[in-house]
Structure 1
């Protein structure tokens, strides 16, 4: 469906995206990477907001760098900083964007508000909405043209747990029939949602795997132990083992560790979470580069 071929984006002397290739089909794809990894630049190229310095972006075989309107007709985009017009209600807001996108079916606006669970707030000023409600309104505007490709940037940042859960469910449903690209720093948000993970580092694609395969590969490198305060202090000071988590439990400290082999006799193998698997992979790459 969406083919990214040898994409490069150069800003001055910096390669923000460096020879990146991906083949994407409908489903939810989690785009992960540290700040400056190139995620936003990549999404902006896919959304035709900026052109690649070289490489191609094909949607069903058609070059959208040469014909950006072909992508724009089939694209929904929710940026990280999504603002609303304070004088417009939720329905008026969608009516405004529908006019910009050439959508003339007024009934679709009401269906979208119902889909994102905002139909009861249709005539409420959007400026009075909570962060989660604004994000859901943002998704509604992104879906106005019934897109085949939906891009959302940090969609759950600042949301409370209930709103995050509702938003994850909404995106999961979209991924049943559309390509949904979700950029996020909150790994738990995509753990039960993304079918594929694209991991970027310094502009390069370093992994494109399922969450399950990443967790499978990290088995044997995640460890759990209960230590005294003195033992924990010694472990932390030595710095030879990466501590992922430390939690006091009575007189002891329960730690989760990343290490390529059993770090000490008291350490027991731990079942990795997706976040732990990603952190273990990062530490392994750093050790290889050192």
Structure 2
């Protein structure tokens, strides 16, 4: 599904990724671990086509996320650790998602409600004015509502309370176990029982890759 072939990347002379090769199969559940600065986020942005590698390449279901961006990213739903400062209201954002992804707004609200997001009371609120937890819940709802083959989460539970974390886990088990799941996290306990493979990075290299 995702092929990362000998990718290297430097910023200002500092090497962030060094000849990283990684294959993620369709339906595989993977945890990407590592300390801050290990290269996890840079690798993630390579997959999303946000960075151009200095060497090597990335393919998503055979598509280059740089040259065939729309086709490649149609396969991926992504929830970032730091939500973007969007100035759209919840109503506007959901409408945009429904039009661009070809899904019904009601499907987004269904998952938002399952995440205990009080969306009806907040439809006219601007996204960036929401609390961190509310932003995270809505982004998770949007990701789950799409028919993407890959779901990628960067520290997905960082802003969630214990109840929302339980609901997030339950929704993944109910609606996403036929997808490829990629978690970027420091905490293995938060995805325990969901992942089947751990990839650990350090100083821009893969130092551990094993099934669990």
TM-score category, normalised to shorter length: 0.7 to 0.9
Q: Kindly name which structure, 1 or 2, has the bigger radius of gyration based on alpha carbons.
A: 1
Q: How does 1:117-266 map to 2 (within 5 A)?
A: 117-118=116-117, 121-125=118-122, 131-211=132-212
- Equivalenced residues, count: 207
Q: Deviations over 1:181-228 (max 9, x none)?
A: 1111122112222111110010101111123xxxxxxxxxxxxxxxxx
Q: Secondary structure at the match of 1:48?
A: coil
State the TM-score, normalizing by the size of structure 2.
0.83
Q: How does 1:87-106 map to 2 (within 5 A)?
A: 88-89=89-90, 91-99=91-99, 101-103=100-102, 105-106=104-105
Quick check: 2:7–2:57 contact (8 Å CA) kept in 1?
Answer: yes
Q: Deviations over 1:87-144 (max 9, x none)?
A: 734x443113334x253634433444355454xx332216686544432211122345
Quick check: 1:33–1:199 contact (8 Å CA) kept in 2?
Answer: yes
Q: Which residue of 1 aligns with 2:108?
A: 109
Give the aligned CA root-mean-square deviation in angstroms: 2.6
Quick check: 1:56–1:65 contact (8 Å CA) kept in 2?
Answer: no
Q: How does 1:37-48 map to 2 (within 5 A)?
A: 37-48=38-49
State the TM-score, normalizing by the size of structure 1.
0.63
Between 1 and 2, higher relative CO (CA 8 Å, sep ≥ 6) is seen in 2
d(CA) in 2 for partners of 1:172, 1:19: 34
d(CA) in 1 for partners of 2:111, 2:141: 6
Q: Which residue of 1 aligns with 2:21?
A: 21
Where does structure 2 lack aligned partners over 5 or more consecutive residues?
none
d(CA) in 1 for partners of 2:101, 2:79: 18
Q: Which residue of 2 aligns with 1:73?
A: 74
d(CA) in 1 for partners of 2:41, 2:167: 24
Where does structure 1 lack aligned partners over 5 or more consecutive residues?
212-290
Q: Secondary structure at the match of 1:168?
A: helix
d(CA) in 1 for partners of 2:196, 2:176: 9
Q: Secondary structure at the match of 1:124?
A: helix
d(CA) in 2 for partners of 1:87, 1:53: 35
Quick check: 1:174–1:180 contact (8 Å CA) kept in 2?
Answer: no
